[in-house]
Amino acid sequence: MATTVQQAQQSSSAASIVVENPATGAVLTTLAAHTSEQLAEMAARGRRAQPAWQAIGFDGRAKVLRRMQKWVLDNGDRFLDTLVSETGKTREDAVLAELGYAAGAFGFWAKSARKYLADERVRTSSPFLLGRKLIVRYEPVGLVGVIGPWNYPFTNTVGDAIPALAAGNAVIVKPSSVTPLTSLLIEEGLHACGIPEHVFQVLVARGPLGGELVDVVDFIMFTGSTETGKQVMERAARTLTPVSLELGGKDPMIVLADADLERAANAAVFWSMQNGGQTCISVERVYVEEPIYDRFLALVAEQAHALRQGAPGGFGSVDVGSFINLPQAEIVQAHVTDAVQRGARVLAGGHRGQDGPAFFEPTVLAGVDHSMQCMREETFGPTLPIMKVADAEEAIRLANDSPYGLQASVFTKDLAKGERVARRIQAGAVVVNDCNANYLALEAPMGGWKDSGIGTRHGPDGIRKYARRQTILLTRFAPKKDLYFFPLRAWHGKLLLGALKLLYGRGERG
């Protein structure tokens, strides 16, 4: 049973994947990459294993998931050590956004799968179906493929597999080749908690094999860049494989003149720098009303200057870790350089970090506008560009002036105003006087508008997407022949037409 890092290393393959700690450059391990032939075998094994997993029902699957909830907490130090070592993120980031999510998600989907996937009784308004019984039921699609990103090796990779498993599917997870160790650790844990062999498998491979994964599964969940997401969707179209895509973001924050400035500044700094800014729903651009602009800049710059950056150690050792995928540093540098050349002012940071190529200083940019890359393209790094606006109307217009629509936030002491502004922002989620807190509400859908994706995770659709819907109509009492059965008679048609006019032909009164 290939469930551990050591066993993955021993699998036969011509290619290998070197996993490094990005913060230190230390080699963690070398894994044998799976081949196309091995992927085909994995898919066949998953399909053979899936019916028995489905057959144990919601209660049987919930027992495994609840055991796994306890396992990740019992093995919390190992979980965190693995995440921190392969990502360079701080231990606090790993606790907040990865371990905390794991502990909540295993229990949530164990509890909620039955509620979201139970048979539904449908009441119809059609008089022609009187006496019939209508049921909508959910059947697992079979084999689900999850292609995850490098920035959240658990939450946006394994996390998307949990509802698929709870629905009764077998799953093949393909983590990023930069961060595969967390998925392999979870595979080990799931087997220790009693999941049947081959129901959950990890594909260790580089990007091209992800395309082949699309070809052999019944549903694909992808999280990553918009460009790659379009390629996934195009390939899935060849086999009519349904997809759910969470893609890029350029998430705006609007700070209105009546906001609690200290809270807004604290939130802006944290949610732009958390995880090194490598979060799809991080604050990537800020619009501040003119009367409070200078004060807001001062508060943010003061905080940013005080941030500690370096290779993560234990809790409290640093505030901001490293880049997870080193080429991302070039994008961040290009965006900062472009902004400065176009007239932006650097209030903090602005340069590569002193701890090596995996670091970029927490950076605050003022005097920015929409001619600059940092306000229009996804930066995905520890930067915070801040733009002055005349009023809320200008802020809303600029917030919506983007091909992306994933997440947004609004800060104001007037909650009614905050809700009015939120309803006008073109994004899948908008938070008032907070940022990203909605992600903790697994009952609520999370997904992007525009170029930020298709479909949602979380909420009812977060698990129903992994199931096929089937409508069943049951007829208990009925005549030998309905009125519209053959042979057709003129009076039949006239009677039906009269009935339609009686039922629907009166229109609105008044």
Active site residues: 246, 280
Give me the residues paired with residue 283 across strands: 251
Residues contacting residue 200 through CB under 8 Å, at least 6 positions apart: 161, 165, 170, 171, 173, 186, 187, 190
CA distance 430 to 419: 9
Closest C-alpha to 140, from 163, 159, 123: 163
Distance between first and last Cα of the chain: 72
**Neighbour tally for 467: CB within 10 Å:** 21
CA distance 317 to 38: 42
User: Cα–Cα–Cα angle for 347, 349, 350, nearest 5°?
Assistant: 95
Residue type at position 273: M
DSSP 488: P
The answer to whether 267 and 434 are in contact (CB under 8 A) is: yes
Distance, CA of 335 to chain centre? 25
122-147 in b/e burial notation, b at 16+ Cβ within 10 A?
eeeeeeeeeeeeeeeebebbbbbbbb
Structural element, H or E, at residue 482: none
| CA 439 to each of CA 155, 167, 207, 259, 406: distance values in angstroms, whole numbers, following the listed order | 11, 21, 27, 23, 12
| CA 132 to each of CA 471, 472, 496, 508: distance values in angstroms, whole numbers, following the listed order | 13, 10, 19, 29
Residues contacting residue 240 through CB under 8 Å, at least 6 positions apart: none
CA distance 451 to 433: 25
